[in-house]
Structure 1
Amino acid sequence: MQRYTLTEYESASDEVRKVYSDFMATTGATEVPVWLKSLGHSASLARAYWQRAKGTLFGGNLPLPLKEMIVFTVSARNGARYCSACHAQSVLSLDKALAFEDLQALLQPESGDHLPPYYAHVVEFAMKVVENPNDLDDADFGKLMDEGFSREEICEVIAVIDMAMMFNIYTSSLRLDLDPQYRAIL
C-alpha cells in the first residue's frame, strides 16, 4: 500500500513552491527530494520540516560532513532506509576520503576502527544517545571535549541526532521510496 502522496513542484501551492525553491537554492539540488514532496500537501509541514533540517544542518559551527555522518549513522542504527541512503550519498559527496565500503563497514560491529578519530568519537557518542540518552555521563562529554569539541558544539551534535530521529520516524513510517540518485545501504 502506498502510504503517501507526492506533490510535484508544478502542482504545489505557491507557499509550498517557496519551500521547494529554498531547498534547492540552499542545497544546490536540481530536484525536490521525495521526503519533501511527501510533505507538499501541507505548506506548514513542508516549511517546518525544511526549516528544522536547514537550521540544524546548515547552521551552527560543526562542519556539514560531520553532521551528515551523524545523520547517516543514526539512521543506519535505526534501520531508516531512506535517511541512511540519502545521508550516505551526502557524506560521500562531501568527504572524498571516504568510500561506500567505509560506510558499509561502519554498519558492522566494532567498526569504529575504519573511521578517522574525529568521526569515530562522535559516532560512538551518537550511538549512546540513540540507545538511551539518560545513560550519558560526564566521561562521554569528556571524550568529545578531549577531541576538541566545545560544550556548545556537543549540544549541536545532540541537535543533529534529534533531527535525524525525527526524520527517521517520518520516512520509515511512510516507507518512502528512495530518490533515483540514492544508493541503498541497508
Structure 2
Amino acid sequence: MQRYTLTEYADASSETRAVFDDFMRTTGATAVPVWLKSLGHSAPLTRAYWERAKGTLFAGNLPLPLKEMIVFVVSARNGARYCSACHAQNVLSLDKTLAFDDLRDLVSADKGFKLPAYYSAVVDFAGKVAADANCLEDADFEALMDEGFSREEICEIIAVIDMATMFNVYTSSLRLDLDPDYRAIL
C-alpha cells in the first residue's frame, strides 16, 4: 500500500513551491527529494520540516560533513532506510576520503573498518544517545570535550541526533521510496 502522495513542483501551491525553491537553493540540488514532496500537500508542514532541517544542518558551529555523518549513523541504527541512504549519499559527496563500502562496513559493525578520528568520538556518542538518551553519563560528555568539543557544540550534536530521529520516524512510517540517486545501505 502506498502510504503517501507526492506533490510535484508544478502542482505545488506557491507557498510550497517557495519551500522547494529554498531547499534547492540552500542545498544546490536540482530536484526536490521524495521526503519534501511527500510533505508538499501542506505548505506549513513542508516549511516546518525544511526549516528544522535547514536550521539544524546548515547553521551552527559544527561542520556539515560531521552533521551528515551523525544523521547517517543515527538513521542506520534506527533502521531508517530512506534517511540512511540519503545521508550516506550526502556524507560521500562531502567527504571524499570515504567510500560507500566504508559506510556499509560501519553499519554492519565490520571490525576491519575504522572511522577517521574526526568522526569516531561523535559517532560513538550519537549511537549511545540514539540507543537510550537516559543512559548518558558525565564521562560521555567528557570524552567529547577531551576531543575538543565545547558544551555548546555537544548540544548541537544532540540537536542533530534529535532531528535525525524525527525524520527517521517520518520516513520509516511512510516507507518512503528512495530518490533515484540514493543507494540503499540497509
Q: TM-score range with shorter-chain normalisation?
A: over 0.9
Consecutive unaligned residues in structure 1, runs of 5 or more: none
- Name the Cα RMSD after superposition: 1.1
Q: Is the 8 A contact 1:106 1:112 kept in 2?
A: no
1:1-186 maps to which residues of 2 (within 5 A)? 1-109=1-109, 111=111, 114-186=114-186
Q: Is the 8 A contact 1:16 1:47 kept in 2?
A: yes
Q: 1:111 to 1:123 in 2, by over 3 A?
A: farther
Q: Is the 8 A contact 2:105 2:113 kept in 1?
A: no
Q: Is the 8 A contact 1:6 1:39 kept in 2?
A: yes
TM-score, normalised via structure 1 length:
0.98
TM-score, normalised via structure 2 length:
0.98
Q: Is the 8 A contact 1:113 1:120 kept in 2?
A: no
SS at the partner of 2:167? helix
Consecutive unaligned residues in structure 2, runs of 5 or more: none
Q: CA deviation at 1:168?
A: 0.2
SS at the partner of 1:114? coil
Q: 1:136 to 1:112 in 2, by over 3 A?
A: farther
Q: What is the distance in 1 between the residues matched to 2:136 and 2:170?
A: 26
Q: 1:126 to 1:112 in 2, by over 3 A?
A: farther
Q: CA deviation at 1:108?
A: 2.4
Q: What is the distance in 2 between the residues matched to 1:179 and 1:45?
A: 20
Equivalent AA in structure 2 for residue 85 of structure 1: A
Q: CA deviation at 1:116?
A: 1.0
Q: CA deviation at 1:67?
A: 0.2
Q: What is the distance in 1 between the residues matched to 2:124 and 2:117?
A: 10
Figure out how many residues of one structure are paired with residues of the other and give that number.
186
Question: What is the CA deviation profile of residues 84-128 of structure 1, one whole-angstrom value per residue up to 9, with x for unaligned ones?
Answer: 000000000000000111101101236495101220110100011
User: Which consecutive aligned stretches of 4+ in structure 1 deviate over 6 angstroms post-superposition?
Assistant: none
Task: Report the identity percentage.
Answer: 77
Question: What is the CA deviation profile of residues 147-183 of structure 1, one whole-angstrom value per residue up to 9, with x for unaligned ones?
Answer: 0000000000000000000000000000000000000
Equivalent AA in structure 2 for residue 21 of structure 1: D
Q: 1:74 to 1:112 in 2, by over 3 A?
A: farther
